[in-house]
A and B are shown apart, each in its own frame.
Chain A
Amino acid sequence: MVTAIWRIIKYGWQGFLRNRWLSVSTIGIMILTLVVFEGLILFNHFSDVAVNEIKDKVDISVYFQSSVSEDAILNIKRSLEGFSEIEFVEYVSRDDALDIFRERHAEEETITQTLAELDENPLLASLNIKAKELDDYSSIATYLESPSLDDAVERVTFAQNELVINKLETIIDSMNAAVLLLTIFLAILAVVVTFNTISLAIFSNKEQIGIMRVVGAANKYIRGPYIVEGVIFGVIAAIISFLIYIPIINFLSPFIIRFIPGFDLSLYFSSNATLLFTYQVLMGVGLGVVSSIFAVRRYLRS
């Protein structure tokens, strides 16, 4: 058994070295496939971060009438926190609101002076609510606008932002669908191209397979070396395609960080290098091995 495995590995390695041009062109196609594959992983991550970044900017604020006590507001806060759709609720008291306002407009003299002249804090206490999903906002808004809270609530910002939120939701939904479709399409394309390349390589060895069969080689001795070659193709293609990405990522990273400040592609790539490389190798070896098995199968039938 050990001898047989050793011989199969030897034949595979010999086949790889002696069919040099065929090996190089097959690896070339596999590199393209793996570049697409890795690109899809990075793009999916990028679009996730982008979407989350946008989602993060959306919230809904409910302003309470100045007559409503802090306790009453905190009661409402507690009841809101019991909602499964809500991620968190933040209470901003009238004083906090004033502080934030002052801080934001510290350099605008007219505003600072006007504030100083006022006897009373003109700002209202509010609750900032962050929902888990974008489409949860409308149900939260409906609750806040219900008659039971009518006496306490001055206004809910959702009505003003509703159009933007709905539009954003549609855009994000279509973006997710487009990314998914693109991923599926490119992944199928890459798999089909690689499979055909390996099939053609094995097709050119059709006669050799026939000879091996006539001299009494069992199928494992015929199929095995092609599987070994598939593994070699996959590993080499994974290494090269991974190396190709290093300069590309370093070049693109500064542009992307300008577009989405929270997304440092370079950092993401370097801190996930092992995982990304493992994906590449698994994908490369998987494609190589599965393609070889299927391509050689048709020549092993009588």
Chain B
Amino acid sequence: MIIFKNVSRHYKQGGRKSIALDGVSFKIQPNEFVSIVGKSGAGKSTIIRLLVGEDKPSEGRVFFGSYEVDKLKDRELPEFRRNIGVVFQDFRLLSHKTVFENIAFVLEVEGYPQKEINKIVPKVLELVGMDDKMSKFPAELSGGEKQRTAIARAMINKPEVIIADEPTGNLDPMNKWEVIKLLTKINELGSTVLLATHDKEIVNNLGQRVITLDKGKIIKDEANGRFAL
């Protein structure tokens, strides 16, 4: 379960205080599919950064299962992050590794034996339709292929939660729906999915819980919600 308890995040820019999140509280149950919507700068990415421990809240608490994320020390973060798979708008693949190596890397740093890695990775790549491009480098892939690789990487170690930060932002309509289909499939397989987006069509089609943010505050949190901005 994910809990945000009265979380605020302020930044100081040129002596002025800017508010990225302002007293945000919500809970996400296991196996939920939640969309976080809002305009640019509404606080969607801040929530994700706080959740993966890339940033710390100015006030409030962030919990992930038994972890108190805001209290984690640097050396505890790698192990914690293995519980979360993240998909980014700009894919963030390791440019000097092949598709296979990008996915295998997650398992390698967790200490999986090579034999098992050689068995699991092709299966997951098959699931996202990338099994025929295993030895390609990211620069040789299209946007959609890169994102499918990123999704394969996010789900390879069966994390409890998959976070997708504007995963369709750089994709054409066809690839966009393929990515959403994959995320839905991952959710059906048992992972919680947290989707940050400002794509109205996607949110309305999903028919799942929607948390709406504006200027760092939650203005709506509805099950079976719709895009309303």
Contact = CB atoms under 8 A, between A and B. Distances in A.
Interface of A: 3-4, 7, 14-15, 18-19, 207-208, 210-219, 221, 300-302
Given A214-B54, A216-B79, A302-B74, A221 B96 contact: no
B105 A215 contact: yes
Contact of A214 (B79, B86, B110, B114): B86
Interface string B19-63: 000000000000000000000000000000000111000000000
Closest 8 CB pairs of A and B: A216-B81, A216-B82, A18-B96, A217-B109, A218-B78, A211-B92, A221-B109, A216-B78
A221 B81 CA distance: 15
* B interface residue count range (under 10 / 10 to 19 / 20 to 34 / 35 or more): 20 to 34
11 contacts: A15-B96, A18-B96, A211-B94, A212-B109, A214-B81, A214-B86, A216-B80, A216-B81, A216-B106, A216-B109, A302-B53
A207 B96 CA distance: 12
B139 to A, nearest CB: 11
Given A216-B79, A217-B78, A208 B96 contact: yes
Contact of B81 (A3, A207, A215, A300): A215
A187 to B, nearest CB: 33
A302 B52 CA distance: 12
Interface of B: 52-54, 74-75, 77-82, 86, 92-97, 101, 105-106, 108-111, 113-114, 153
B105 A217 contact: yes
A14 B109 contact: no
Contacts of B153: 215
A14 B96 contact: yes
Contacts of B110: 216
Given A14-B96, A18-B96, A3 B106 contact: no
Contacts of A215: 81, 86, 105-106, 109, 153
A138 B178 CA distance: 94
Given A208-B96, A212-B109, A302-B54, 15 more contacts: A3-B113, A14-B101, A15-B96, A208-B95, A211-B92, A211-B93, A212-B94, A213-B81, A215-B81, A215-B105, A216-B81, A218-B78, A218-B109, A221-B109, A302-B77
Q: What secondary structure prevails in chain A residues at the interface with B?
A: helix
A5 to B, nearest CB: 12
B106 to A, nearest CB: 5
Contacts of A210: 92
Given A215-B109, A216-B78, A14 B94 contact: no
A268 to B, nearest CB: 44
Contacts of B94: 208, 211-212
A210 B95 CA distance: 12
A208 B110 CA distance: 18
Contacts of A214: 52, 54, 81, 86, 92
A214 B82 CA distance: 9
Nearest to B80: A216
A207 B95 CA distance: 10
Contact of B111 (A3, A14, A19, A219): A3
Please indicate which of the listed interface residues B52, B86, B96 has the most CB atoms of chain A within 10 Å of its own CB: B96
Contacts of B97: 14
Contacts of A219: 75, 78
A205 to B, nearest CB: 9
A21 to B, nearest CB: 12
A231 B94 CA distance: 22
